[in-house]
């Protein structure tokens, strides 16, 4: 509710403004004096009032510190700048204009300097309070622009200063209130105390009331399993809220990514458009649970589909633990090399064999998709075996002759690796690494079945010769 322009009063006819804006009080003409004395004529033009009364008049002068108002008294009333508006530090010229008719409350009929002191904001406050009490009684809605951001919320101009707590601005908590300055908001009145000059508002209550029907319909039509598009509205420590176009749903941090993340901001940011799957809809609590990772392929499933036990993969040591070392073998995929699988000899500490960030070949010895665990072996990788498909594909044309036959290490003679995978495989083959039996067969270097049998016998011998303490480990 903004400052109201008020109706005319008898005093509005007591003077005129010339082209330059100067005010000239109306002269008392002979007709006005007919039948009465001059004193009676003058007295008849003066308005009677007391302190606390609301009077009306015409703005006759606007200065940076005060405004003069002609209310038909023996002298113009003075409205100090601080008494013009409920807004702080405003320019009087932005509140009133010359010739404007306004109401003011009489603060002092005569101060020590003999001036009539008035207050426009107090008159506005008195008028507004009655209106607001009426609105509160009928559970109505007030509307006004946001004029200030204060500790804990916003101040709205509703004819007086209405306080809107930050927690009640939207349906969810808003952290940055600055963008609301100047915006006109609708709100319900939830607390009213004239003695304390206290008016507390709730925009959330108004939003809940106006959107309840829409929310009910939205929730009823939303089914678990559906894939919806939305926009990230906020990011918090425990996840991210997504605006689905009718309501916000929560992606818990555990549903943001297949990989471990330290904070949701590592995956999404406010304003991101995302595709999510609906996990659950709680109609009673009006809560929607969402998943981002459910709309993405599971990297563990992809790895399991693309690899099998016995293959060689290239990885990087990420962490050493007393019982072994973790090696990253794919995006977000880590496997464990148990200390018993680090070398053919007994190993007391993993750092005796590997160090963090070291890159090396490992052999897959077990894939447990359900538990999301991969067991790897360094010592078995040293014996050779079949290289995983992605490294063969990454190696490309340099691994084959013109007829398409695999030529192994011979292909590296005048070859500059184009990727880390190519360089790793080149180093592996040049150091005497064993190619897969299938590759040997196609290259004409041996019989595939014999090679596989020999490898099996070697593994059996190794298993039988393994130290007892390694088996217990």
177-198 confidence digits (pLDDT tens): 999 999 999 999 999 887 787 8
To the nearest 5 percent, what fractions of the chain are helix, strand and coil? 30, 30, 35
Predicted confidence band of residue 335 (pLDDT cuts 50, 70, 90): very high
pLDDT of residue 130: 81
Question: CB 470: neighbour CB atoms within 10 A?
Answer: 16
State the residue for tokens 């039996």: 437
For residue 243, list its beta bridge partners.
Answer: 231, 248
Q: Which residue has the higher pLDDT, 273 or 4?
A: 273
Mean pLDDT, the chain, integer:
76
State the residue for tokens 């130290």: 467
367-380 confidence digits (pLDDT tens): 998 888 999 999 99
pLDDT higher than threshold 50 for residue 451: no
96-122 confidence digits (pLDDT tens): 888 888 888 888 877 778 788 888 878
> Which residue, 212, 240, 214, 221, is CA-closest to 281?
221
Instruction: Calculate mean pLDDT across residues 253-266.
Output: 87
Share of the chain above pLDDT 70, in %: 72
289-320 confidence digits (pLDDT tens): 999 988 888 888 888 888 889 888 889 999 99
Dmax over CA atoms of the chain, in Å, equals: 140
* Top-ranked range on mean pLDDT: pick from 63-77, 221-235, 409-423: 221-235
Q: Which residue has the higher pLDDT, 229 or 449?
A: 229
State the residue for tokens 């530090």: 89
* Domains of the chain, each with CATH number or no CATH: 10-124 (2.40.50.140), 139-207 (2.40.50.140), 224-295 (2.40.50.140), 309-473 (2.40.50.140)
Give the DSSP per-residue string, 359-426.
EEEEEEEEEETTTTEEEEEHHHHTT--EEPHHHHHHHGGGGB-TTS-B-GGGGGTT---SSHHHHHHH
| H or E element that contains 207 | helix 203-221
398-407 confidence digits (pLDDT tens): 554 454 444 5
pLDDT higher than threshold 90 for residue 139: no
pLDDT of residue 153: 93
Predicted confidence band of residue 231 (pLDDT cuts 50, 70, 90): very high
Lowest-confidence pick of 116-130, 177-191, 437-451:
437-451
pLDDT higher than threshold 90 for residue 10: no
Instruction: Calculate mean pLDDT across residues 158-184.
Output: 89
State the residue for tokens 């007591």: 14
Structure tokens at 186: 């609708």
Q: Which residue has the higher pLDDT, 169 or 463?
A: 169
Question: CB 350: neighbour CB atoms within 10 A?
Answer: 22
For residue 316, list its beta bridge partners.
Answer: 328, 359
Cα 453 to the chain's mean position, in Å?
60
pLDDT of residue 177: 92
- Collapsing DSSP to helix, strand or coil, 438 comes out as helix
pLDDT higher than threshold 80 for residue 382: yes
pLDDT of residue 107: 85
């Amino acid at each position: 509710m903004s400052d109201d322009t008020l109706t005319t009063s008898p005093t509005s006819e007591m003077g005129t403004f010339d082209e330059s804006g100067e005010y000239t009080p109306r002269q008392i003409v002979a007709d006005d004096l007919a039948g009465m004395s001059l004193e009676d004529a003058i007295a008849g033009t003066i308005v009677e009032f007391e302190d606390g009364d609301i009077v009306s008049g015409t703005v006759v002068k606007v200065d940076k510190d005060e405004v003069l108002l002609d209310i038909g008294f023996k002298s113009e009333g003075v409205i100090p700048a601080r008494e013009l508006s409920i807004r702080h530090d405003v320019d009087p010229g932005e509140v009133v204009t010359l010739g404007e008719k306004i109401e003011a409350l009489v603060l002092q009929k005569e101060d020590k300097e003999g001036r009539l002191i008035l207050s426009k904001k107090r008159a506005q406050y008195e008028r507004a309070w009655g209106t607001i009490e009426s609105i509160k009684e009928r559970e109505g809605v007030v509307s006004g622009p946001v004029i200030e951001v204060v500790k804990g919320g916003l101040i709205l101009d509703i004819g007086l200063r209405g306080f809107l707590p930050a927690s009640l601005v939207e349906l969810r908590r808003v952290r940055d209130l600055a963008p609301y300055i100047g915006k006109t908001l609708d709100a319900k009145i939830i607390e009213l105390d004239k003695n304390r000059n206290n008016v507390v508002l709730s925009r959330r209550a108004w939003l809940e009331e106006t959107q309840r029907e829409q929310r009910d319909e939205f929730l009823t039509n939303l089914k678990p399993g559906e894939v919806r598009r939305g926009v990230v509205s906020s990011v918090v420590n425990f996840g991210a809220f997504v605006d689905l176009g009718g309501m916000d749903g929560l992606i818990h941090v555990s549903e943001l990514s297949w990989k471990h993340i330290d904070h949701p901001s590592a995956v999404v940011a406010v304003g991101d458009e995302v595709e999510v799957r609906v996990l659950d809809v709680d109609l009673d609590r009006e809560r929607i649970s969402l998943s981002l990772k459910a709309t993405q392929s599971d990297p563990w499933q992809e790895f399991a589909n693309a690899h099998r036990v016995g293959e060689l993969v290239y990885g990087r040591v990420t962490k050493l633990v007393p019982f072994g070392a973790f090696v990253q073998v794919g995006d977000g995929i880590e496997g464990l090399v148990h200390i018993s699988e680090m070398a053919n000899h007994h190993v007391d500490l993993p750092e005796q064999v590997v160090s963090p960030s070291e890159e090396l070949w490992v052999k897959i010895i077990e894939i447990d998709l359900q538990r999301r665990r991969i067991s790897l072996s360094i010592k078995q990788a040293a014996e050779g075996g079949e290289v995983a498909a992605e490294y063969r594909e990454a190696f490309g044309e340099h691994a084959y002759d013109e007829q398409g036959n695999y030529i192994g290490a011979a292909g590296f003679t005048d070859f500059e690796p184009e990727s880390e995978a190519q360089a790793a495989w080149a180093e592996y083959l040049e150091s005497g690494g064993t190619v897969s039996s299938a590759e040997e067969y196609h290259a004409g270097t041996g019989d595939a079945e014999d090679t596989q049998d020999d490898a099996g016998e070697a593994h059996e011998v190794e298993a039988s010769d393994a130290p007892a303490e390694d088996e217990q480990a």
